[in-house]
Structure 1
Amino acid sequence: MSIERFHIAHSIDEALDLLAKEGSGAQILAGGTDLLVALRAGALDAGKTAFIDISRIPELSRLTLNGPDGQCQLGPCVTHHRIAEDAGLGRASIILGQASHSVGSPQIRRRGTIGGNILTAAQCADTIPVLLALDAQLLLRDTKGTDRTMAIKDFFPAPKKTAIKADELLLGISFASLAGKPWKGSYYKLIRRAAVAKSRLNFAVLIKTDLQGKVDEARISIGSTLPTPGRFTPAEELLKGNKPSIELAQAAADACSAYMIQVAGRRWSAEYKEPVVRNLARRGILKVFGLEQAPEESLEQHPEAQHGA
């Protein structure tokens, strides 16, 4: 395998034309923080012979708040740095900025893009659990100009695989703005060191309360726990209709841990992950409830690990 051609697209149409021309040998490039590492390591997908750089297409770097129907829209080339620094997006998404701020290092955040974070389909991807909690939708366009929209929850059919077709380009990510609505959220990331670290587990929760203070809706996702990224629906359902309490948070945390075992099975890592997921979920939910406690024990038994929020 070797890259023989490097194209720079300046418009979506040009990128799609190049994609049609290069066929299965095309590799879309935006920030390149993962692809260039794979290229140097000789680990790029076999058969890739041409890079198509889409980072200079203005439409793919747009960030729109409160668009049609109150939707927030992000181009796939929006960087993690920009997401982390945008106060309006912080109000609209509550926790997406925290997830992007936790990505790698300042240099990586200035180059790495949200589209790349999605399309690598890594179990440890920082933004995917948050986008799942936001019920995000993905807009795709093929080389014939046909658009389709897919919920991110349906975008990962198998481990490390996405549903994007070889002739498709990711054009945008959208979700309903939560600004000014009774939603609260928290994001936690379990890491080995304080910077430039891949997450071992990451937890995202968004909770909406009604006028009586009861949980009206809950959305929970935990990265690196299920075979493919997804929501923890049993825990979400357990929370609904109940008033926040320490006991409720513990019950939901237990449900998260049990659901992981139910879906992923009791593999060799379960002995470690089961209590960590329980503790991580409890802390995240308690934070949203405003009932944070001083930790009585570490998230895990391994002293070299740290946890970041």
Structure 2
Amino acid sequence: MKAVLETVNHNCKSIPRLTLVPAACENNKEFAQGLQVYLIMSVPPGVFESGLAIPGIHWFHQKHNRKYIVMVQEFRDIIMGQFAGHHHTDTFRVFYNKNDLANPFCSWEADEAWRVTHHYFHFDPLHGNHRVEDVNFQWTDGVFGVALSRPDAQGERTVFFHALSSLRVFSVPAGVMRNRTAALAAGPDSYYHYRDLGFKGNDTQATASYLDLDTGVLFFTQLNCNGVACWNTQKPLEPANVHLLVSDGERFSFPNDLKVDAEGTLWVLTDRLPVYVYKGGLDPNTVNYRIFSAAVKDLIKGTVCEV
């Protein structure tokens, strides 16, 4: 697979986009053999939601994302799930095929998707104040980080999620999201499927999170601590069980995203986004983007996150 960097226009601005493309389409089956992929998207392709609720207007519609649909259908045997968030609304998306768990993606032909809302998706008004380097700003972002667990004894997965401006982590069974009736149910039947897992500690606001399927350890960025932390999901979520793995005001300024790959390596991206947004740009003579990697088992060894 090769990476193609292209430019797209959004709100009259040119934005770079990195696209992964199969090296040779005729070898897709050989390329995909044995792989399992989760698609994590900042904003899914399609119609971007506005602040107005317009009946009949769908935010995710086949006619707006044909190329994306072709790609997903081509690789449906290895795409285990699709997640999207960061819409600046208190929602997140998990896409599955409700009738075939072996090929969990939406039924594109029927354009089946539904929006799920819950109190736990909202930001905490007491924790929306942030400071990165010398920039002080306030964000009201709701659900931002979404992570998926390994299957339990019944084959069910758990979706872990948190709002960016919050100090808590929540969860919901993935089956609830796959079941349209359960997902859209009102009242207690829906509300109590979601769990408040606990308090991470002061200044633990996070952008991204990712759960390492091998160890069951959840990693999350630390926006106000310039670093990365971990929590062993087999232990209660409380400050004593959350470990700050790294904190560096220069190199880890605004850790924006992280992932764990199939080899058990944690990758972290830092990009100084608040400096760019609130100070009118970045200094090209300094390092503004960094990518870090480390073996998960080495990182958590000797910490409360160790398995």
TM norm. shorter chain > 0.5 = no
* TM-score (normalised: structure 2): 0.28
Greater relative CO, 1 or 2 (CA 8 Å, sep 6+): 1
Q: Which structure has greater helix proportion?
A: 1
More strand by share: 2
TM-score (norm 1): 0.28
